Amino acid sequence: MSELITEQHGDALWLTLNRPHKRNALSMALSEALIAALEDARDREDLHYVVLRGAGEHFCAGDDISEMPQWGNANQVMRRVRRYQHMTNVLQELDKITIAAVDGMAVGGGLELTMASDFVIATERARWGMPEVDVGITPGWGGTTRMARLIGRRLTKEVNLIGALHGARRAVEAGLWNRTVPTGELDDSVNALLEVMRAKNHQAVRQLKYIIDRGVECDLETAQGFEALSGALTAAVNGWWQVADADQGAGVAGFVAKSALWRQRRGLAQHFWAQ
């Protein structure tokens, strides 16, 4: 059976990690399949949502540690870690809303997948943590970086340096996940969220996701620049696009046709102060 099950329901793509006998640990094959599915979703405009979940009773127990000796030497390990960073970066940067539906274990790489998602809904029995320290390794694609941005430096150190497994409610209280739901109601809760989101203006949702994710990584003034430009784009896509001193596409059309406007602009500029 495929280690990744892909199902499309309307404008939502459901991706199910399918290694229940391994608590859906990320094998190299499963990781490559997930990367391919996310890249395909990235390039599609018919999808507005991606739901990530695990088969059986667990979300994802992280990397398949038994495969790590196959990763190779230090340089090859670095290349694989960067490959997995690409996986979570693609997930985070999708112009779709992403939902991690968590049941059971979400540790290590599994927790890192949730941190790259827009929404995380977990059952009350879900458990999370970064136990890499007790294997003598360090997280590679978000366990220190995204986590510190989500819940702060001090708690990130506690999670990583101790390696304990925590209950789902603490993840919500810390701001790591969004909601807990009773066991058995996970899919219904995801579908309820999808219903709410489908009522939105999809372009506005795309813009909001983009400016939030970009703004949090820069200073306040730069982030507010994103907000201002997003406001202008919102006006344009809602029909208020005409600006009196903009040429409303005449520049591009003029270049194609080599119009008088194009010849005037290039004639004035081409050799002006040129050395």
Active-site residues: which are they? 112, 132
Q: Distance (Å, rounded) from C-alpha 29 to C-alpha 61?
A: 15
Radius of gyration of the chain (CA): 23
Q: In the numeric block, which tokens belong to residue 41?
A: 């979703």
Contacts (Cβ under 8 Å, ≥6 apart) of 139? 108, 112, 130, 132, 160
Backbone angles phi, psi at 166, to 5 degrees: -110, 160
User: Cα dist. 163→5, 128, 129, 173 in Å?
Assistant: 30, 10, 6, 18
Given a contact cutoff of 8 angstroms between Cβ atoms, the answer to whether 97 and 119 are in contact is: yes
Other Cβ atoms within 10 Å of 255 Cβ, number: 13
Contacts (Cβ under 8 Å, ≥6 apart) of 123? 102, 103, 104, 168, 180, 181, 182, 183, 184, 185, 186
Backbone angles phi, psi at 9, to 5 degrees: -120, 95
